[in-house]
Structure 1
Amino acid sequence: MTGTDRAQIVLRWLLAIAYLVVGIIHLRSPGGFIPIVPDWVPYPRETVLLTGVCEIAGAIGLITCRFRYAAGVALAAYAICVFPANIKHAIEGVTVGGVKLGWAYHAPRLAFQPVIVWWALFAGGVIRWPFAGKDKQ
């Protein structure tokens, strides 16, 4: 097992745990997320619930060999699809759960979104970039 393989396993489990926890939060407290759903998205509550289901399914998929690749692709696409909600949250300064987060939170969060896309693809075994070929077998 190479160092890249070990990193991939660790990052896979971290991402799966993160998506599982956030998915459960989306299902248990959808009202906290509804304010950041863009106005052009129909059925905000149902959309938040669906995102929770997608996060949980993606987390489970990542830890199974059979569905890992598909989960990596789906979670990367998911991270792209929810980006408009992150933008709305930042630009409009939406208060969520009584808390208004400033740019000290939003700027890094928005900048980190491409990393989350890469992370999903790497954790799902879709890509090995930038580590491909760096480990001696």
Structure 2
Amino acid sequence: MQAGDKVPDITLPDQHGNPFSFTELIGKTSVVVFFYPKNFTPGCTREACDFRDHYSRFKELGAEVIGISSDSEKSHSKFISKFDLPYTFLSDGKAKARKAFGVKSNLFGLLPGRETFIFDENGRLLHKFNNMNEGKHVQEALEVLRKK
């Protein structure tokens, strides 16, 4: 995906098993979508909690946050409950979203990639950020939203 591209028209199950479509948010809110490797791992937990700790700032900037991994809906539900995560998580067990967004694997293909995408309220890509350092994603996304 490149700046200006439209958010992919795909549907994935959320943490409750309900279908979620990105296109439902078009015209309503900006969206920060972060892909991460796995629930309950140290780096992924830090990243998810960092988004949690800054969630009110994202809301103030008119953005919704969505986390995506290959974990099951049940795993997402436990992850949310354990760490009090206030935003939506989507299950991408068949890598449908990873393919649609063009998220590449890291560490010689051994780990699913860690990449963040920021879309405006019209569903157009403003910025994407690929870095295995989980600590940089929240600040980068907030910076992009502040400038828009």
TM-score after normalising by structure 1:
0.34
Q: Normalization by structure 2: what TM-score?
A: 0.33
The structure having more radius of gyration, on CA atoms, is: 1
